[in-house]
């Protein structure tokens, strides 16, 4: 039951449009019997620290699934295995010299190993990583579309999807 969430393009007049594709996901593990997800904190364009799902650009020659696994590991330190596609978030924003249309593919991943850390993020965007109970993600995640994807994941994990 994959979901799609879209926002329309920003007003930008004659600015060129750039297309960007990213992938990431919700990596889940049972810690002390409680389902938890590894999330990251990064700065938004205004400099405010926000908690979000790990994600990043799909590299040349890489599939979105491969990018999701790589980005989750780079930004959280956790090695994950893809369970299911959760959904795609499609949005627009204004850059300095262009309008950007961004598509982000999100996956549900099962934690297979690793150690929670943001220290291995090559882009140094992730400032912190934390395990958060799935039930608490609604209050922690900054973006409504990501909170909706968590609801999709919870239904999948509960077998009600």
| pLDDT at position 3 | 60
**pLDDT averaged per 10 residues, the chain (length 161):** 58 80 96 94 92 96 98 97 96 88 97 96 93 95 95 89 59
DSSP 20-55: EEEEEEEEEEEETTEEEEEEEEEE-TTS-EEEE--E
| pLDDT at position 24 | 97
| pLDDT at position 96 | 81
| pLDDT at position 10 | 57
Domains and CATH numbers, the chain: 3-158 (3.90.79.10)
Write down the pTM of the prediction.
Answer: 0.88
How many Cα atoms are found within 13 Å in the side-chain-facing hemisphere of 93? 9
Q: How many residues does the chain have?
A: 161
| pLDDT at position 5 | 57
């Amino acid at each position: 039951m994959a979901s799609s969430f879209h926002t329309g393009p920003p007003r930008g007049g004659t600015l060129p449009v750039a297309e960007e594709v990213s992938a990431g996901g919700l990596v889940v593990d049972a810690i002390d019997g409680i389902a938890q997800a590894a999330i990251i904190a990064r700065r938004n364009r205004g400099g405010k620290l926000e908690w979000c799902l790990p994600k990043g650009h799909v590299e040349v020659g890489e599939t979105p699934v491969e990018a999701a696994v790589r980005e989750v590991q780079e930004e959280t330190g956790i090695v994950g295995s893809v369970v299911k596609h959760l959904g795609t978030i499609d949005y627009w924003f204004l850059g300095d010299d262009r309008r950007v249309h961004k598509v982000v593919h999100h996956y549900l991943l099962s934690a297979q190993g690793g150690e929670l850390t943001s220290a291995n993020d090559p882009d140094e965007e992730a400032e912190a990583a934390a395990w958060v109970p799935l039930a608490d993600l609604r209050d922690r995640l900054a973006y409504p579309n990501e909170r909706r994807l968590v609801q999709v994941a919870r239904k999948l994990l509960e077998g009600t999807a």
